[in-house]
Amino acid sequence: MKKPHVYETIIVGGGIAGCTAAIYAARKKMDYLLLTKQLGGQFMESGDIFNYPGIKQISGADFSRAVEEQLAFNKVNVKERVIVNKIIKKREHFVLKTDGKDVLTKTIIIATGSHPRTLDVPGEREFRYKGVTYCAICDGPLFYGKEVAVVGGGNSALDAADSLLNIARKIYVINIHNKFEVHKYLLEKAQRSPKVRLITGARTTRITGNKFVSGIEYEQKGKVKKLDVQGVFVEIGRVPNTSLVKGFLELDEHHHIVIDCNTQTSVPGVFAAGDCSSVHEYQYVIAAGQGCIALLKAARYLARHKSR
């Protein structure tokens, strides 16, 4: 009976972290495979991307095409439309259970990303990336001189407001709770700024507009109120795509995969990179860097164990 093939490493996830890891695996001539439901990850849904090193500004679609061209140039081994349902440790290797056949590997890089929490109110989906966005650092420059709303009551919301201070003309922060659960310095800075208006006990009910966002509605003390804004930043947290490894890897309180500075997880031979990891920083350049580190550390892990 023919023995099943065992890869040196399997990369799970086709976003910037997974693609970077795969490019480095290809350059190192490793026996690897990139498994993903769809290439592109978060930049498939992005508006414009600013200040990725070497790129001043590029659309998410163009960035996606550029990455795909780079994957093709490096002859990256990709299998799309693959969903990994479970990972099992079996003796000296790992078994990845997919909808098709099992895939065996000596190391794994988990790069499954995350997705933003949504408000689930009328207009949100319709105006997504037409004024509704989920990353103030990424998309803030698009709203220079405009009035915007930030929805959220935690650190991410006031971080977003802070990053918009030198960009937007007016910033409304709409918090469903009666107080902000944030770092004191963030709250004090927002309170001092004449640009920022903090609105508490307010439940966002609708986002309005024509081709682009023109307003937001919220309910406060039984009354519906409206603000004329040209942008809405939804900052109510992100959800890591880590259900695959629940019970297999250590997760933090927010369900991100716990990693050390080498991207090593709680299971030797399994690494994690990008938005699914416990770094809690959602930037393309960080995810790409982690993807590179994860692949290099996986290669070193293989070299150490080969010499034993």
Class of domain 118-234 (CATH, top level): alpha beta
**6-115+238-306 and 118-234, same CATH topology:** yes
The CATH architecture annotation of domain 6-115+238-306 reads 3-Layer(bba) Sandwich (3.50)
d(CA 262, CA 56): 29
The pLDDT tens digits of the residues spanning 170-223 come to: 999 999 999 998 989 999 999 999 999 999 999 999 999 999 999 999 999 999
Q: End-to-end distance of the chain based on CA atoms, in angstroms? A: 28
Domain range annotation of the chain: 6-115+238-306, 118-234
- Bridge partners (DSSP) listed for residue 160: none
DSSP, collapsed to helix, strand or coil, labels residue 113 as coil
Helix axis angle, 16-27 to 60-73, nearest 10°? 20
Predicted confidence at residue 20, as pLDDT, reads 97
- Bridge partners (DSSP) listed for residue 35: 12, 79
The pLDDT tens digits of the residues spanning 254-281 come to: 999 999 999 999 999 999 999 999 998 8
- Bridge partners (DSSP) listed for residue 11: 34, 109
Higher per-residue confidence, 266 vs 50: 266
Backbone angles phi, psi at 291, to 5 degrees: -60, -40
Q: Identify the residue whose tokens are 């990008």.
A: 274
Query: Cα–chain-centroid distance for residue 50?
Result: 16
Q: Identify the residue whose tokens are 């922060």.
A: 173
